[in-house]
Structure 1
């Protein structure tokens, strides 16, 4: 008996073996060896061994992922996959669609505390035929403890920049019930994000995650999951006098919470099975200058879904058919003080979808085809498709290919946003659309995994900013040209023993968009070259992990500089850098571990976003207590 994807179906073992269950490459839980999709998994062991504070720290280590943090830890964090936009990543947390409708439908990775995560899964490429809007660059699924063994743990850590971190988690398994709960808190005085000499820009983050399942009958599983986070982030904005980037006292209070309940009948490999589920998500964002409120937004999303699965055999042909229907309603509210209420908005929208997926296995071939129809009440409907095939050639070799399409809804701000004398939204926008394909060759044998993947994607109807010099008003529009993304991903994994696991990856990306003259220009904040090396393991009483992440040179827009040639803000170069981190733990007695951790070990003074300084080298130490684990 399993829960419906994208909820976790099994716990990963290592980050380099190819026997994990993948929950977002199909609406059916699938072993990695049986999916054509480009998948990366960060398992519980690697999360323990590196102990980085945010989920984005782990995503930075994966192929074709560009992470841009606007200052110290806790600042706005954008994740771009395969050159796509930051709001083209779809995020699931414990099976709940978690993109924030109150913040441009973007995933709020700056709020996503890694101490409530047990597993992170990334599927690259357009996946809207399976999961709908925002799944253009890829899908990220973050899962907590699935509840397989009774036990609990406590962790406390302190270190540089007056950073304090603590977490507690527990799991109960018995009598048909599984229950897990995790609590986490992080707080830091931070560093000055402007020039290093001003006020400290810190953050405070409290998070909670819970999950409960009940095997009510042999063929009936009932479950619920929930998460919530509340965070305060301080940052440097723009001067109200010069309108230039300055050392200000801006801060934002963010709250995000969600709950999901489901009931599953039958198992995936039964002739018939199905799931009904309902979820709700609520978010709010309050922006202030020092203690003075500027504006606030809040939103909610309510989702009802049903899924029917059919499994059959015809000789050596194994077949699955999935039919899924969904209804989603969103409400958005904006209020301001700075503009006397002129930017206030009360908007709503809804959409319905139908998805049909066919998956088959015949001898050494695995095929998958999906089609989805999204019906919107605010803009044009959309149909997306996806098709893939995987062929096992023998002696550990495989070849795979896929074609996929993606869409992204216009945000509430794109459609209806308003600032007096500055910005007016465009209610005539249509969804962005992307299509592309990939091909890969893979080899795995005796603890080795090697793969080489090439991909190509095209984005149309991209939503871009516009400016009218006669009225001095900005707005949004669907671009007439095509944005192009293509690249190559190389991965190598080696798992010789529990004492050593190694994974390395290197990525090449060419991402361009058309300018007003129709010429293709480089997309900003996307490095041409990137890569990572990760090693971890356990030996006796020691546990250890080390990571190196390379982010190559890229460009960004400096809004403080004007380019007279393009008559717009100047595009500047950001240098490449290497981020190094490591953690070592020593078990002084059963259930008691002391550890030390270092981040940005080379003390790089780098920039992910022009004008925003991240933190330098940090050293932290702590203790972890565990019972039953």
Structure 2
């Protein structure tokens, strides 16, 4: 197949309001490039996120089930997800990203920035920011098909046209799996299917003027086992959900990366729908929309040996939310909306191996109190390939529509007086980068304030939400190592230690948070030799805790496990590749969430076609 060059100093998109080289970014950043994505060939993006430090993955059952990602001990709705520059956290499902819908066949690059980033990107960026970018601008086509264990069928197609002034690329990905029974004992299998599409195009009528469009559609159906209506225990049921998220973005940019002045205007629209069924009978549905208008201006100048960048950005956003029960007119129905505006200022300076950055943002909300967030960082080279970096960051997460207005007469009433959750954190790291080797060791400490939790106050013991007065604490250590021996072999390894605690409701004492392993890590390798290409990964998840879903609702321990995947491909001729893939190679019995089973060892095989086209 076509060999891709390995970039040892890639550009980081989300560690600042303007792109910068990874070697110059003070933030903790992990980049999974197209080479590794293709050689590991995971069906879903979440399988690749397991390879990043401090990312705890929780899947409520087999592949395609509800999936949560927690970065550095943050909550599942405390990570901000961008796809081709579009924020796709779902307003119809509590503001959490729908990772179970995110098809990896449509991704060519994944970027994870860890730590609070709300001063740059606003709400939900407490744990960090994940950016998934689509097809690059290499002209050509790619087709792939795969089949194997658990009834998996998978196919994708993509194509890109590259001209002097116009680039256009698109992709379509489809997956279907029969799955497994997600509860112990006999029962039906719980599978999934999804269909995803992406489109991106740019037109540059002049060297310093660009018009662009990006669009995506994520649709899926997931079967799952819910709860017994009498005992409320997790049981074999015929539950399913049907989800759809469609979004688009338009932008225009003026200037270049070296222009004294540059700027851009953008508008995006997102719509989502989530419908829940039992045996094809509708139970409830939620829908949401997000409209965003943004503008940004950049000024670059020098004072002696110091290169400065000043960035100012403004954003207007409107979200709507609708909830419906089985019948319209129920007291559980909701029709809500909210507006939000923000202003962001950032200053970045570079001189003689030192990079400094300060960002300040003010968010105005019409439904709850406003917020101001700050981020400051510095990176300094100390010689011999070594550098040190430190940063302070703040994050916020706005209450969800359900937190504010949810209403179930017998068990829950929302709280419209809630304020945003807030977090503050420090980190310091020692880094090494020389030739084909890069490594980093990072220590961090974060505090979560005003956490939104559900309580059951007497005498009615009716559930409601409040902002806690106490503090949840997260601290840890992260280590990363990458060695590019040659195109034949690239080796990467990570380790993360996490101490994540929250106050116990009764005593106020700090207890370990659920679904967050204390120890985790990964090893990944990929390369090519002659007609062969290969990739393999092993992710370690340490022992962690969850809560029992029946009385006495106590904490239960979930064992540690090793999750190993591998793929090998053989090019029978230029542009035609046969491959085989294995998942959970060690055949581990493991649970990410209490009482939800996951898939054992799987074996798959397929074919991939690729070719380059000449530029028009």
TM-score by length of structure 1 reads: 0.96
Deviation string 1:376-413 (CA, Å, 9 cap, x unpaired) is 00000000000000001111000000000000000000
Counterpart contact for 1:250–1:288, Cα < 8 Å: yes
Does the 8 Å contact 1:161/1:191 carry over to 2? Answer: yes
Deviation string 1:551-572 (CA, Å, 9 cap, x unpaired) is: 000000112130xxxxxx2100
Q: In the alignment, what sits opposite 1:121? A: 111
- Matched residue, 1:565: none
Aligned to 1:269: 258
Give the CA deviation at 1:138. Answer: 0.3
Equivalent residue for 1:144? 134
User: Aligned runs of 1:142-541 on 2, under 5 Å?
Assistant: 142-147=132-137, 149-337=138-326, 341-516=330-505, 517-541=507-531
1:130 counterpart SS class:
helix
Distance 2:113 2:16 in 1: 10
Q: Secondary structure at the match of 2:459?
A: coil
In structure 1, stretches of 5+ residues that fail to align are 1-11, 563-568
- Which position in structure 1 is the counterpart of 2:62? 72
Aligned residues: 610
Within 2, Cα distance between the matches of 1:121 and 1:305? 22
| 1:196–1:26 Cα change, 3 Å | farther
CA–CA distance in structure 1, aligned partners of residues 134 and 459 of structure 2: 53
Offset at 1:469? 4.3
In 2, the alpha carbon distance for the partners of 1:514 and 1:13 equals 49
Q: Does the Cα contact within 8 Å between 1:18 and 1:33 map onto a contact in 2?
A: no
SS of structure 1 residue aligned to 2:404: helix
For residues 307 and 573 of structure 1, the distance between their equivalents in structure 2, rounded to whole angstroms, comes to 48
Displacement of 1:241: 2.1
* SS at structure 2 position matched to 1:473: coil
Asked whether the equivalents of residues 13 and 20 of structure 1 are also in contact (C-alpha less than 8 Å), the reply is no
Structure 2 unaligned residues grouped into runs of 5+: none
**Residue number among 585, 603, 610 corresponding to 1:626 in the alignment:** 610
The answer to whether the 8 Å contact 1:295/1:337 transfers is yes
CA–CA distance in 1 between the matches of 2:534 and 2:416?
Answer: 53
CA contact (8 A) 2:484 2:490 kept: yes
Residues 572, 578 of structure 2: 8 Å contact kept: yes
Contact 1:339–1:420 (CA under 8 A) maintained in structure 2:
no
**Cα distance in structure 2, aligned partners of 1:475 and 1:61:** 37
CA distance in 1, matches of 2:35, 2:385: 26
Instruction: Give deviations 1:524-546, integer Å, cap 9, x for gaps.
Output: 00000000000000111001001
Does residue 1:605 correspond to 2:581, yes or no? Answer: no
Q: Alpha-carbon deviation of 1:340?
A: 6.5
Partner of 2:542: 552
Instruction: Give 1:150 deviation, angstroms.
Output: 1.4
- After superposition, give the CA deviation of every residue in 1:489-534 in whole Å (9 maximum; x if it has no partner): 0111111100000000111000000112211010000000000000
What per-residue deviation string (whole Å, max 9, x for no partner) do you get for residues 262-309 of structure 1?
000001321110000000000000001111111000000000000000
Report the CA distance between 1:472 and its aligned residue: 3.3
- In the alignment, what sits opposite 1:5? none
Q: 1:96 aligns with which of 86, 94, 97?
A: 86
- Measured after TM superposition, the shift of residue 197 of structure 1 is 2.0
The aligned residue for residue 567 of structure 2 is 583
Does the 8 Å CA contact 1:548/1:580 hold for their aligned counterparts?
A: yes
RMSD between aligned residues: 1.2
Structure 1 runs (4+) greater than 2 angstroms displaced: none
Moved more, 307-316 or 470-479: 470-479
TM superposition score normalised by structure 2: 0.98
From 573, 579, 599, the counterpart of 1:615: 599
